[in-house]
Amino acid sequence: MRKSHYLLYVLLITLPIGLSFLWVKPNITSSYECISSVKKENMEFDALNIYGEPLGSCCTDPMTGFYRNGYCQTGRDDYGTHIACAVVTKEFLDYSKSQGNDLITPNPNYHFPGLKPGDKWCLCITRWLEAVKVGVAPPLDLSATHQNALQYCNLELLELYDVAKQN
């Protein structure tokens, strides 16, 4: 079977059962590998944090990040700019829900477990800044906050919310 026919066949089979986000390609040994349709060239590699150091992991339980890889990486597909690694608080979660973004309620369709105070999560930098203005911004893990945050606010503001300097 030609490759183009094979891919069409796989798409026709998988679309009706909701697996359109994967395509299967047999290798020479007849085993299968699943390849995500996320274009990796859209996701940056070797990302840096606000200090110009390699971006640290934000959280893997729950799995966070726009690309659900544990890092607050960004790319062309990340319209929300999920680059602020926050330790969420009850006040922030309630505020976010009041603004139409319910981060508390689990959503199994998206493999989202729901967040609770103390969880770390990659937030949209603009939502975090809104929370700063109303006094409910959660602390940030600056080692895992992407350097692009500096395009939205200054280092001094970010450091005021550094979780490492609190307590």
Indicate the CATH number for domain 41-165. Answer: 3.30.56.110
Task: Report which secondary-structure segment, H or E, holds 98.
Answer: helix 90-98
| Tens of each residue's pLDDT in the chain, 167 residues | 454 443 333 333 333 334 333 333 333 333 223 233 333 345 667 899 999 999 999 999 999 999 999 999 999 999 899 999 999 999 999 999 999 999 999 999 887 899 999 999 999 999 999 999 999 999 999 999 999 999 999 999 999 999 999 86
> Is the CB of residue 120 less than 8 Å from the CB of residue 85?
yes
Shortest CA distance to 98 belongs to which of 66, 131, 67? 131
pTM beyond 0.85: the answer is: no
Domain ranges of the chain: 3-37, 41-165
CA 93 and chain centroid, separation: 16
